[in-house]
Amino acid sequence: MTEHSAQTPPRTPPEILAPAGDIDSFLAALAAGADAVYVGLKHFSARMQAENFSLTELSRLTDLAHAEQRRVYVTMNTLLKPSEIKAAYRLLVRLVRQARPDGLIIQDMGMLDLARQAGFEKGLFLSTLANVTHPRALIAARCCGADRVILPRELSIDEIRMMDAACPDGLNLECFVHGALCYCVSGRCWWSSYMGGKSGLRGYCVQPCRRLYSQGISAVRRHEHKRIPEDIYHHERRKASGGKGREGRFFSCLDLSLDVLTKTLLGMRRLVSWKIEGRKKGPYYVYHVVTAYRMLRADASDPKARKMAQELLQMALGRPLTRANFLPAKERVPTDPGGQTSSGLLAGKINMTQNRSVLLKPHFDLLPGDCLRVGVEDETWHATLPVTRRVPKAGTLTLRTAKHKTPKNGTPVFLIDRRDPQLAAAIASWQAKLREVQGRPAKAVDASPRLSMPVRSAPQPDMLLRASVPRGRETRFSRKFETALWLSLRSAALSRTVVSRVVWWLPPVVWPEEEDSLARRIEHLRRDGARRFVCNAPWQRCFFPDQSDSVQLLAGPFCGAANAAALGVLRKMGFAAAFVSLELARDDLLALPRQSPLPLGLVLTGFWPVGISRFGLLGIKTDMPFVSPKGEMFWARRYGANIWLYPGWPLDLTEKRKELVDAGYSFFAHIEEHTPHGLPESRRQAFFNYDGQLL
């Protein structure tokens, strides 16, 4: 042993963090050797479609895990509405007393304050939904009280190293190594919410990204009542689409799998957790994926171990696998527009007989207890069916589907869960251990959090937000509105005479490679007299470390401020005012000013994006309409490193303005976005969730 190795303690390997959406999956994670398990409750979980846990169940499972020296983390990672603050606080108090988990995974800024008030003294982990995406943001996150940051799935290995090197004392990192990918950046997707109030930020996403879309002149015409003249399209775009249109699952991602590449993550100073996505998956998936990554962590250099681990991951019943952006030299779009991107292992295809029987000849043995998926979610015949008897490879299984869900010939069938004898025995063994754990019964709690005092402020001029101003036209700024500009290389080059008159909006997502350039532009603008900035993530406060009275920071609408607790944290961070989340419905929007410790504003009109992605596009052209199966029109545009997805109709809350002013809103913004050629004039009105509800 060398002198150096004798003095240097061995580095603790990262934990394997497993998902669990039900009790059997939790026990499967323990059986597979997971170091920690993360779960959701019946409320405030970003995977509300999972079965999730009651506090009494969770107290027993946590005690069992602790007896085995394992850890349990609870996700309370939804956006909180104004009316939910007291309920969330009472649940936190009960969680501390009854379940006693080791960590809390959160998205909403307000939860940082509520959890500590409730007496939670363990780890507070910022979810990937909190959008901590660049190195300097980590310092701001730590200053707010976070103990761990869960990194975005879009980062490359080099960017993860940058985050690790920049991580301040007292803060650790967690990264995803396996599981489902979203096309849009976590915390930057409103697609499901905009189309019907089912918010991904609140655990109710209906996954519009998984659907079939079409693009081209014929696709637009097919979904319009009036004919669209071809001369509105550029000749190049007509040629690109061939006039016939294209169809595919352009935004449906494959599953992330770093598998053998996880060895590059070993030895990082602050990266303490390898996370597996999948709280909606079954025990079979959990057991196989955890087992595979334990092997890869322990024997990263053993060819036999690597091969066996990869075979286990192929058996785990997920989607086809991708490395996404992890290898910077092989950057790729992790979608397969022409393929099947449903989860599960392809078991075969439907064979319809003349008497309309639905038959399947499986590619492998099917076992009792297996669960099959027929087709994909957006097909009318989609169904999940149990297997009740053993069916040998190439045998015949008759599928009993509902009459209104008869699949067409050739429809793929996937195995999405199974209980093989070995796994069933392992779970049964852990169930016996669980029966010996009593847990702690539920007790009612009557408690309320301390919140900052509300404020009211005088009305302010509206902002007109533009991408840029043409050079030489600075003097043509609107007299009706304050001019606001997205901060970019082009907009930052305005003459010094007008810089101080502009409200500068920082981008909604900042990637590590963009951080230094953005910091230089901000410093340049401040030297030229810029005084008002809108931060579109709370952590962008880090770009103003020496903030003085001469600089006014506003929390932008992308910060997702939706309740008094979150606004209180933003005030402590130094924000002078805040835009409210556009997702909120009428009653919540009107109630919030009476509770807010900051002056409030709202985006009133303009094209609000349904999502922002770093993954690029396959099969879709930018600035050209594409159409959903229901005839909804969308379009995409590239800004910097990101793709912005827009609905084909703008937000317009103009008729709600008086009601909002009377409620206490003091400023509004209007987003000016040039629409693409060929976008038909929409006949629908967009209030977002104002006249509906936010689930």
Tokens 């939860």, residue located: 111
- pLDDT, tens digit, for every residue of 217-270? 777 766 654 444 444 433 334 444 444 568 999 999 999 999 999 999 999 999
CB 217, CB 237: distance < 8 Å: no
Q: For residues 669 and 648, what is the distance between their CA atoms, to the nearest angstrom?
A: 20
Copy the structure tokens of residue 152.
């975005």
Does residue 621 have a pLDDT over 90? yes
Q: Residue for token digits 């398990």?
A: 37
pLDDT above 70 as % of the chain: 93
What's the average model confidence in pLDDT over 394-415? 91
- Cβ distance 671 to 608 under 8 Å? yes
Question: Using one digit for the tens of pLDDT, what is the confidence trace for 556-603?
Answer: 999 999 999 999 999 999 999 999 999 999 999 999 999 999 999 999
Say how far residue 695 (Cα) sits from the centre of its chain.
16
Question: What pTM, to 2 d.p., does this model score?
Answer: 0.93
Beta bridge partners of 459: none
Domains and CATH numbers, the chain: 10-189+252-317 (3.20.20.70), 345-417 (2.40.30), 463-671 (3.20.20)
The highest-confidence range among 138-152, 244-258, 374-388, 439-453, by mean pLDDT, is 138-152
Could you tell me the pLDDT band of residue 472, with boundaries at 50, 70 and 90? low
Q: To 5 degrees, how large is the angle CA 379–CA 382–CA 383?
A: 170
Instruction: Give residue 244's pLDDT.
Output: 52
| CB of 609 closer than 8 Å to CB of 637 | no
For residues 104 and 96, is the Cβ–Cβ distance under 8 A?
Answer: no
Q: What span, in angstroms and rounded, lies between the C-alpha atoms of 654 and 641?
A: 32
Residue-wise pLDDT tens digits, 512-527: 999 999 999 999 999 9
| pLDDT, tens digit (0-9, with 9 covering 90-100), for 174-216 | 999 999 999 999 999 999 999 989 999 999 999 999 999 999 8
Range list of β-strands (E), 94-161: 103-106, 123-126, 148-150
What is the model's pLDDT at position 463?
A: 96
Q: Contact at 8 Å (CB) between 581 and 79?
A: yes
Q: What's the CA gap between 431 and 25, in Å, rounded?
A: 11
Task: Choose among 111, 146, 144, 101: nearest CA to 125.
Answer: 146
pLDDT at 323 over 60: yes
Question: Which pLDDT does position 476 carry in this prediction?
Answer: 65
Residues 74 and 178: their CA atoms lie apart, in Å, by 19
Q: What local confidence, expressed as pLDDT, does residue 470 receive?
A: 63
Question: Confidence class of residue 442 from pLDDT cuts 50, 70 and 90?
Answer: confident
Helix (H) or strand (E) holding 519: helix 512-527
Q: How many CB atoms lie within 10 A of CB 443?
A: 10
Chain mean pLDDT for the chain: 91
Query: Do residues 179 and 146 make contact, with C-beta atoms less than 8 angstroms apart?
Result: no
Between CA 568 and CA 549 the distance in angstroms is 19
What tens digit of pLDDT does each residue of 285-295 get?
999 999 999 99
Query: What CA–CA distance (Å, rounded) separates 658 from 456?
Result: 16
| pLDDT band per the 50, 70, 90 thresholds, residue 24 | very high
- Name the percent of the chain lying above pLDDT 90: 78
Name which of 532, 541, 536, 540 is nearest 639 in CA terms: 536
Q: Is the per-residue pLDDT at 298 higher than 80? A: yes
**Nearest to 676, CA basis, from 631, 630, 645:** 645
* Half-sphere exposure at residue 429, Cβ-oriented, CA atoms within 13 angstroms: 11
Candidates 489, 503, 477; CA nearest to 639 is 489
In the three-class reduction of DSSP (H, G, I as helix; E, B as strand; rest coil), residue 336 is classed as: coil
Q: Pairing state of beta strands 36-40 and 15-19?
A: parallel
Give the number of other Cβ atoms within 10 Å of residue 11's Cβ: 10
Helix then strand then coil, % of the chain, to nearest 5: 30, 20, 45
Q: Which residues contact 233 (CB under 8 A, 6 or more apart)?
A: 217, 677, 678
Using CA atoms, how far residue 473 sits from 2, 115, 486, 495, in Å, is: 69, 50, 17, 10
CA–chain centroid gap for 108, Å, is 13
For residue 90, what is the enclosing H or E element? Answer: helix 85-94
> Would you place residue 444 in the very low, low, confident or very high pLDDT band (cuts 50, 70, 90)?
confident
**CA 351 vs CA 196, 358, 396, 414: distances in Å:** 36, 6, 10, 14
| Cα–Cα distance for residue pair 393/95, rounded to 1 Å | 48
| Per-residue pLDDT reduced to its tens digit, 266-278 | 999 999 999 999 9
Whether the CB-CB separation of 637 and 680 falls below 8 Å is answered with no
User: What's the order of all strands across the beta sheet hosting 246-248?
Assistant: 246-248, 213-215, 626-627, 633-639, 642-647, 611-613
Centre a 10 Å sphere on the Cβ of residue 599 and count the other Cβ atoms it contains.
Answer: 21
Predicted confidence (pLDDT) per residue in 641-684, tens digit? 999 999 999 999 999 999 999 999 999 999 999 999 888 887 77
Residue 3 pLDDT: 39
Q: How far apart are CA 96 and CA 118, in angstroms?
A: 7
Can you give the pLDDT at residue 587? 97
